[in-house]
Amino acid sequence: MFNKFSRRAGSGVAVTVAAVLMLTACGGNGGDAGGTPDPNEEVTLNFTWWGNEDRASRYEEAIALFEDENPNIDVNGTFMDFPAYWEKRQTEAAGGGLPDVMQFDYSYLRQYGENGVLLDLTEYEGNGLTTDGIDETLMATGRLEDQTLAVPTGYNAWSLFENPAVLEETGATGYEGGTSWEDYDAYMTSVTEASGGEVYGGTDYTGRIQNLELQMRQEGRELFTDEGELNFTQEELAEFWSSAQGLRDNVTIPARQLEEVAPKSGFGSNLTASEMTWSNFMGGYLGDTGAEDLTILAPPTSDPSVKDLYQKPSMLHAVSAGTEHPEAAVAFVEFLINSPEVGAIFGASLGVPASETALEGASLEGPDLGVKEYLDSVADRIGDPPAAPVVGYGALENTFLTLGTSIGLGAITPEEAAQQFFDEVAVTLGS
């Protein structure tokens, strides 16, 4: 009764305001797909990406090239850093005005895809959009329930970085790569001991959800069930975090020190000899450490015969469902994904190019080549990627990281952290 009453009383004015705002938000769904592209029609495309100034100049170059080839299409590029980029996209998704073409992140794909704000590209495949040159398992990461919603630009895989300069200082022996977890722990211990506490063997790897995923895949399990629920129990999570207590106490870089160097990582600050992360961090870590070269190795595994790694799309390109120029947008995506010239412009800075033609054009060298060689070397361990991340995965990943830090700082126990993580998941996945 009270509910009914308050509903009526509360809504009055606000509903009117809301209705006006919502109605206007949903306007402007122009494009009817399948029409023939008109080479004479003057078209303006809005395109957006996140990234640094280096990426911005590369995209500017690519856009100029595309405009030369398609004089009737004008591309307006715009860019931001990652968190701000998504804040702006969320506002546009709610308020209207998403750009025609967007650089997309895997962790947001399901959210935008399931809500119908991305254009289904299926009918353009082979008809304006060439996807033959892209590995099928990688291509599948851009699909949701038979709809192709995004096309991967490139890929990376989980990996282990080693800093030869830091290692040399300590005099310890390098990590072999791809051996057992115990072996990797022993390696980190040897580095920390050899340095006399100056630097550390590595970072507490239980702080990152990807290492939990890696260990689970090595046991033949995924992080999430097919229904999108957590595939591990609270006790298992507490156990995972507890397992590294010995490392945290004596071997890995103290969480306190990590907080001091943030936003840099311990590895990026030349304070650890190794760290596990995505292979596309090569460029960033070279800049952070100032090192001449970094070694990239296979992460440890409990069973070398299991296909525990997978190719993750480093980023994808997607088209807004509201675009008024779907053909032109698809043509631009095609150009960004497949053109050898674009491959040459970007090298491996958007991940090792997914498309064969772009990869040929890229003629990788130096650190980029090292990443490519690493990815080839672990081909035996690469299996099918997991289903596209659940809605809110980015937030969970962040929560996991924060809780890992809190454990490292001694602020909470692994059991308390596991409890908090499950509480958070209930909120994030339950809404």
Partner 1 sequence: MTTGSAPAPQNTRTTAEPGARPAGNRRAGGHPKRKGNSETVAGYAFLAPWLVGLFALTLGPMLFSLYLAFTDYNLFTAPEWSGLANFERMAGDTVFWGSVQITLIYVLVGTPIKLAAALGVAMLLNYKSKGSGFFRSAFYAPSLIGASVSIAIVWRAMFSAEGPVDSGLSFLGINLGGWVGVPALIMPMMILLAVWQFGAPMVIFLAGLKQVPAELYEAASVDGAKAWRKFISVTLPMLSPVIFFNLLLEMIGAFQIFASAYIIGSGSGGPAGATNFYTVYLYTRAFTNNQMGYASAMAWVLLIAVGILAFILFRTSKSWVHYGGDTK
Partner 2 sequence: MSTIESTPTAPPPVQPIHKRRQPPRRTAANVAWIVGIVLLTVVVLYPLVWMISASFKPSSEFGSNQGLLPENPTFDNFIKVMEGVAGIPTWRFFWNSTILGIGAVIGTVISSSMAAYAFARLNFKGRPLFFAMMIGTLLLPFHVLIIPQYMIFRNLGMVDTFAPLLVGKFLATEAFFVFLIVQFIRNLPKELDEAARIDGCGHWRIFWSITVPLIKPALITSSIFAFIWSWNDFLGPLLYLNSPENYPLPLALRVFNDQSSASDYGATVAISVLALLPVMLFFVIFQRFLVAGVATQGLKG
Binding site for partner 1 (CB under 8 A): 3, 6-7, 10-11, 13-15, 17-18, 21-22, 83, 86-87, 90, 93-94, 111-112, 115, 117, 254-263, 391-392, 394-395, 398-399, 401-402, 405-406, 409, 411-412, 423-424, 427-428, 431
Q: Pairing relation of β-strands 382-383 and 274-278? A: unpaired
Decide whether 77 or 383 has the Cβ nearer to partner 2. 77
Interface residue with partner 2, options 77, 128, 174, 340 (CB under 8 A):
77
263 binds partner 2 (CB under 8 A): yes
Does 283 bind partner 2 (CB under 8 A)? Our answer is yes
State yes or no: residue 270 binds partner 2 (CB under 8 A): yes
- Binds partner 2 by CB under 8 A, chosen from 120, 288, 293, 397: 288
Please tell me whether residue 284 binds partner 2 under the rule CB under 8 A. Answer: yes
Contact residue for partner 2 among 37, 67, 88, 340 (CB under 8 A):
88
Retrieve residue 307's tokens: 């296909």
35 touches, from partner 2, partner 1, none (C-beta below 5 to 8 Å by class): none
254 forms part of the interface with partner 2 (CB under 8 A): no
By CB under 8 A, residue 290 contacts partner 2: yes
**Which is nearer to partner 2, 30 or 220 (by Cβ)?**
30
Task: Give min distance, CB of 36 to partner 2, in A.
Answer: 29
Rule CB under 8 A: say whether 37 interacts with partner 2: no
Write the interaction track for partner 2 spanning residues 295-334; mark x where CB under 8 A is met and - where it is not: ----------------------------------------
Which of partner 1, partner 2, none does residue 219 bind (CB under 5 to 8 Å by kind)? none
Residue 79, both tokens: 């860019």
Is the Cβ of residue 187 or residue 241 nearer to partner 1 in the bound state?
241
402 is in the binding site of which of partner 1, partner 2, none (Cβ under 5 to 8 A by kind)? Answer: partner 1
Residue whose CB is less far from partner 2, 126 or 287: 287
Long-range contact set of residues 239-248: C-beta below 8 Å, sequence gap at least 24? 239/414, 240/206, 240/212, 240/215, 240/414, 241/206, 241/404, 241/407, 241/414, 241/417, 241/418, 242/414, 243/206, 244/204, 244/205, 244/206, 245/414, 247/185, 247/188, 247/204, 248/204, 248/407, 248/408
Number of residues engaging partner 2 in binding (CB under 8 A)? 49
Separation CA 134–CA 244 (nearest Å): 39
CA angle 180, 186, 191 (to 5 degrees): 130
**How many angstroms separate the CA atoms of 237 and 421, rounded?**
9
Partner interacting with residue 349 (select from partner 2, partner 1, none; CB below 5-8 Å by kind): partner 2
Binding residues vs partner 2 (CB under 8 A) = 21, 24-25, 46, 48, 50-57, 59-60, 76-82, 84, 87-88, 91-92, 94-97, 99, 260-261, 263-264, 268-271, 283-284, 286-291, 349
